[in-house]
Amino acid sequence: MGKPCKKMNKTVPKRKIRIRILLSFVAFAAILFLLGVRLVFLQLIQGGELQQKAVEQQTRDNLVASQRGAILDRNHKKLAQSSTAQTVTANPNEMQKAKKDLQETAEKLAAVLDMETDTIKAMLEKKTNHVTIKRRVEDDVATAVRELELTGVYLQEDAKRYYPYGNFASHILGFVGDDNQGLGGIEAEYEEQLKGAPGRVIALKNALDNDMPFKDEKYINPENGTNVVLTIDEVIQHFAEKHLEKAYYEEKVREGASVIVTDVQTGEILAMAVKPDFDLNAPFALSEEDTALIESITNSEERSTARSNALQQMWRNKAVVDSYEPGSCFKIITGCMALEEGLITPETPFFCSGSKRVEDHNISCSHREGHGTQTFADGVKNSCNPVFIDVGLMVGKEKFKEYYKAFGFLEPTGFDLPGEAKGVFYADADYNTVELATASFGQGPKVTPLQLISAVGAVANGGKLMRPYLVKELLDADGNVVKKTEPTVVRQVISQKTSEQMCAMLENTVINGTGQNAYIKGYRVAGKTGTSEKIPRGNGKYISSFIAFAPANDPKIACLVVLDEPSNGQYYGGAIAAPVVGKILEDTLRYLDVEPQYTEEEKQNLDVFVPDVKGLSRDNAIKNLTNENLNYRIAGNGETVKEQMPKPGSSLAAGSVVILYTEDSTSNKVTVPDVSNLSLSEVQSRLAEHRLNLIVSGAATTGNASHLTIADGQYPEAGAQVDEGSIIEVEFRYLDVD
């Protein structure tokens, strides 16, 4: 009986051992399972993050800035370019672990970088591996920093944007911010193409965050940006900016001025300018007047808001983002509607009594006494409101709106610059007979300058509405064309016949009508005045404009000038905007080598060049001058001409007087008289009295309405002392304008 009991006692320990082994195995297996799960989690779930942290811990990875692509004009002149620069950075953690004197380091850097010591020290006290101390320093400053040999201070290759012409084409080009990103204009719109891709420098570092003592750097080259070639012609842009700026200051334009010059056949923008402008190399610098006004605001939040608003206003491209009532310039479009529909011809008769009654509204003509009976062509020439009210009512509400849309006024043009606005038309519920009547002469609906010049370009080129564009092509670093913009016809809006009829009438407007201040001798200009009163009516604030294209019989270029709130007394577009357009067109046509087409009358009044008669006998000198249709006066008793005035090569009107000096004596000085507000004949007499010659510019050269022109500017100015026989250039303006 006792033996079985002993056997049971031996079995119990074995079982316990097995259980312990099993439990140990299970525990070990569980640990392995948990470790496996953790390993899977670390590898698959957190693997990427941990790998990134390891790389950051063991390497220093610095970006190498790419060069932004250049912005070029159509002839590849650089308007914006990038140059190599250095950015000063620091690793505060490295400095702190190395127990460097942060105060001393900050003082040394401040002296070189022209910064405040406290500002730099605050950066160096941060708990981080990277701070930017100063961006884009010049080479000499970078060299000075390098020579300091400061632990934890590094130079990082960077790029600096530079605009060689300062404020030139500022609203087109735009500018870049601190991170070299485009913040306006082409710089912003073509950011993806211009910016390129940055490179990298990867180097090993130790646990103290210091560079390893051996070189093991990996350098990834940056990819430079694409070059953008604009349709802008730098020379034409200079013409536009020069003449617009002069008008902006002379007419004391309160709300800014804009100009656009286009190729009417392709839609290319040859020039676009807004005044006032800003320096692209210092785009956040406001004018002294704006700065003083902002600094006078005591509340910091209001001051910050005022500064932001002032900057946005300064950067605003009025030619693209502002809409306005175009005034009489829109009569071109209204006339085309009726001609295209066959409702009128240039010879269709109308009557103007000085006003037109539409329902319960009496709408006046700018010529209050009325034009009487006149043809439609006369109505265009005279810019007669009652004629265009009648024409608009003939077209009717539905057709008028259809053409308004067809000419592109209800949608953006799809232009290359940001923020483009679209035209504004009446809501259907507000669009009645009176609204149709006022819209017919450009009051009520609003358009942008870009839309208007595109629509008038269609009138000039045979009826094709072209999409305006500013970027001609994109080039890679080797000059290969990456992308090219082709002219795009949006739609045919009018026929060739309607186009030719309107071109002829608009040319007559410049020769014989309200547009005579845009007349250019030898060039056939077609154009239309525009003056619109701003809302609320009766506030005395106007927008003055003029639009023209040339040559009228073979249109190549168009120009629109808009002056928003001139305040120097005159506000009619025909008086102050037309002369600006005329000067821009004249400079541009000559630059483009467009051959002049002189009429017989113009040929008879062409200026002549003064021949060089110095050293000739009196008789031979007189003979040479007479052959050039010039008169003469002899000063002295000698037989040989020793000096002459004007100088050889000067341009003079036929019949002018050249003074021949036959003795060694200085010429007589005379005082230039004031000829302002005198007629052409009065100016001629006044200058002749002072033994001075005259060169005429402006409206008096038309030869059709000299009795309605007055002198409106002269050079040299009144009171100047000049040699007798000197040339005085006098500009005349036509008075009967709208």
Cα–Cα distance for residue pair 738/733, rounded to 1 Å: 13
Cα–Cα distance for residue pair 273/265, rounded to 1 Å: 21
Q: Count of CB atoms within 10 A of residue 405's CB? A: 14
User: Which entry of 66, 328, 656, 697 is annotated as an active-site residue?
Assistant: 328
Here the tokens at position 352 are 């103007």
What interhelical angle do 234-250 and 578-591 show, nearest 10? 160
Cα–Cα distance for residue pair 676/58, rounded to 1 Å: 80
What residue spans of 211-286 are helical by DSSP H?
Answer: 234-250
SS3 call for 346: coil
DSSP 141: H
Q: DSSP strand E in 672-708: where?
A: 693-698
The amino acid sitting at 592 is L
Kindly compute the dihedral angle of the four CA atoms of residues 54, 60, 61, 65, in this order, to the nearest 10 degrees.
170
- Contact present, 642 and 619 (Cβ < 8 Å): no
Going by DSSP bridges, is the β-strand pair 542-550/631-635 parallel, antiparallel, or unpaired? Answer: unpaired
- Contact present, 722 and 672 (Cβ < 8 Å): yes
User: Tokens 């970088």 appear where?
Assistant: 113
CB-based contacts of 295: which residues, under 8 Å, 6+ apart?
A: 303
**DSSP annotation string for 523-585:** B--EEEEEEEEPSSTTSS-EEEEEEEEE-TTS--EEEEEEEES--SS---HHHHTHHHHHHHH
- Contact present, 72 and 137 (Cβ < 8 Å): no
> Closest Cα to residue 165, out of 71, 286, 63, 24?
71
What residue spans of 447-493 are helical by DSSP H?
Answer: 449-460
User: Across the beta sheet with 709-715, what order do the strands follow?
Assistant: 693-698, 727-734, 709-715
| b/e sequence 167-195, b meaning 16+ C-beta within 10 Å | bbbbbbbbbbeeebebbbbbbbbbbebbb
The amino acid sitting at 734 is Y
Q: Is 614 left (phi over 0), alpha (psi -120 to 50) or beta?
A: beta
Give the CA distances from residue 90 to residues 103, 123, 181, 228, 317, in Å, rounded to whole numbers and listed in that order: 14, 9, 23, 35, 40
355 is catalytic: no
> Closest Cα to residue 135, out of 97, 173, 180?
180
- Contact present, 58 and 194 (Cβ < 8 Å): no
Q: Can you say whether the dihedral through the CA atoms of 359, 364, 369, 375 is positive or negative?
A: negative
By residue count, the chain amounts to: 738
CB-based contacts of 106: which residues, under 8 Å, 6+ apart?
A: 117, 118, 120, 121, 124
User: Tokens 């064309």 appear where?
Assistant: 481
Burial class (CB in 10 A: 0-12, 13-18, 19+), 313: middle
How do the residues of the chain divide into helix, strand and coil, expressed in percent and rounded to 5?
40, 25, 35
CA count, 13 A, side-chain hemisphere, 719: 0
End-to-end CA, the chain: 140
Catalytic residue numbers read: 328
